Chains A and B, each alone.
Chain A
Amino acid sequence: MTSFNAALVRADTPQLTRVINGYPITYLDSGATSLPPRAVIEAMSRHYELHHANVHRSVFQTASEATEAYEGARLAIAKFINAPGGAEEIVFTKNCTESFNLLARSWGRVNLKQGDVVLLSEMEHHANIVPWFQLRDMLGFEVRFIPVTDDFRLDLSNIDELMKGVKLLSVTGMSNVLGTINPIKELSAIAHKHGALIAVDAAQSVAHSVTDVKDLDVDFMCFSAHKMLGPTGIGIFWTRKEILRDMPPFLGGGGMIADVSVDGYTPANGPTRFEAGTPPIAEAAGLGAAVTYLTGLGMANIAQHEHDLTGDALTRLELEFSGRIRVIGPRDMTNRGGVISIDVDGVHPHDVAQMLDQFGVCVRPGHHCAKPLMKRFGLNATARISYGPYSLVRDTDMLLEALHSAIGMFG
């Protein structure tokens, strides 16, 4: 049973009561990080007030409560993305970036060699580029990119050629700059046809649409809690049990071992093999609460809400700023999420963002950690608007008013 009302989500989100420069906050940076609802904040403070202890080995009551919260979050995430093997397939990391580093340094290190290819796309976030370059420099395989078309979609016209020699296809579910939602199901069929595995960067997509790894038929997925109404400091890595079983440890230390002697060590089995040291326990409690909250809203409802907001904003940007503002992303609302990058003619994105801040409007200027994509479209930076489940049409109203003012000032 789900119920969705964006105004109620807003009321659940304490930070949205802030007043900035005399204006109620207009938060349009959910693509960078989302604002947690009270339920998430309370779950974390409740943990520190009542249940805080280190997880796993301790036997006293609060330690088992903490373990229950930590392992409960693992199970919640497994259900949330429909992991076929359940909680045993979920590894907690620090963030989505660390999840990609785990994929590269653990799976990649033992499965890639000279002559192999890792295929990425031009619209990837640096998190899904740099770890591959680092590993390439050690092992000598090739990193290749799927180009992006002029209408901001993956150019799959030459995909069979591009797939030659590919061991891993690693692409984003949704571009953090363009808003483009990629055809993951189609891509997984292509990858598997060519005997390759497929990894998905779900950082943007997971909080804004239904995610079902079984249905998508993918092999790896990386995302972070803070982009799905959860806290910072905890990320998620998922892969199928059969693959995880053969992956060597990434970080070493306490908690990830089965045995240690003066001669060496034996790693633990299952996800804990990749969770060296005290994990983010309170953050896991917060993440568990975020999953419960999102599930209650219904991911399909959130997707529809953000779809409507984005369509409305694109139409109004075109009507009110035609010729002055260029949207760097698809105009077509099919397979398009709630991220809108704009290029204001004659006003640098930094200045745009600074002016908008005067109206309490929060947008992000910069290259959004996607420099190859920026280069592809001849840009240094854009100003990015991104919606969340708590966004309302009034946020777009305020954005447009502030944009008029910014453009007025720069002439």
Chain B
Amino acid sequence: MAGLEDLYKEIIMDHYRSPRNRGELPTPPAVCTEGFNPLCGDQITVYIDVTDGVLKDIKITGQGCSISQSSSSLMSAAVKGKSLEQVQETIGTFKQLMTGHETALEDGGEPEKVDIRALGELAALQGVVKFPVRIKCAVLAWNTLSQALSELPS
């Protein structure tokens, strides 16, 4: 049984208490997308400002548990100022961290170690995998960001 300290790490609690990049951006030029977790009522709105292939600014509003809120804060810090290519790569790595090893877990195995250096602070969310019902909390912001990116005017 995974301990709670795996879930509620210092970094997570810090981002929950003092979320980064909180707020709104004027639309347009920013694109805004809303995400819901219908099971628990969590709601999140992601605003992104993309210029010349770079995610220049990101702001997030919404309500939810410590995992969904800290994940959105950590995400905003990780993707802000990055090229869209890098953003997509980070999204991919994070989603893999959350869902890529479910089969191994079901077989009683431990999640495969992901290269922590590539993840930076995001690695703090690794413990969520041991609490499968909370994965949907952690990925809400990421799915919403993916959606926002897909809605960018081409």
Contact = CB atoms under 8 A, between A and B. Distances in A.
A380 B41 contact: yes
A374 B42 CA distance: 12
A89 to B, nearest CB: 36
B66 A380 contact: no
B101 interface: no
Contacts of B39: 366
Prevailing SS type, chain B contact patch: mixed
Contacts of B80: none
B87 interface: no
A365 interface: yes
Interface string A337-353: 00000000000111100
Contacts of A371: 41
Interface string A353-375: 01100100000011100010010
B18 interface: no
A365 B131 contact: no
Contacts of A380: 40-43, 63-64
B69 to A, nearest CB: 8
B40 A365 contact: yes
A366 B40 contact: yes
B137 interface: yes
Contacts of A410: 13, 66
Given A350-B66, A354-B4, 20 more contacts: A348-B65, A348-B66, A348-B69, A349-B40, A350-B40, A350-B42, A350-B137, A351-B65, A351-B67, A354-B134, A366-B41, A367-B40, A371-B41, A380-B42, A380-B63, A380-B64, A381-B40, A381-B41, A409-B4, A409-B8
29 contacts: A21-B1, A348-B65, A348-B69, A349-B40, A350-B40, A350-B42, A350-B64, A350-B66, A350-B67, A350-B134, A350-B137, A354-B7, A354-B131, A355-B4, A358-B4, A366-B39, A366-B41, A367-B40, A374-B41, A380-B40, A380-B41, A380-B42, A380-B43, A380-B64, A381-B40, A381-B42, A409-B4, A409-B8, A410-B66
A409 to B, nearest CB: 7
Given A365-B40, A366-B39, A380-B43, A350 B65 contact: yes
B8 to A, nearest CB: 7
Contacts of A367: 40-41
A391 to B, nearest CB: 24
Interface in B19-53: 39-43
Contacts of A358: 4
A75 B7 CA distance: 50
Contacts of B137: 350
Nearest to B64: A348
Interface string B47-84: 00000000000000001111101000000000000000
Q: Which 9 pairs, one residue from A and one from B, show the smallest C-beta to C-beta distance?
A: A350-B65, A348-B65, A380-B41, A367-B41, A381-B41, A366-B40, A351-B66, A351-B65, A380-B63
Contacts of B134: 350, 354
Contacts of B41: 366-367, 371, 374, 380-381
A369 to B, nearest CB: 10
Contacts of A409: 4, 8
A58 to B, nearest CB: 41
Contacts of B43: 380
Contacts of B7: 354
Which of A348, A366, A371 has the most chain B CB atoms closer than 10 A to its own CB?
A348
B81 to A, nearest CB: 29
Contacts of A351: 8, 65-67
B109 to A, nearest CB: 21
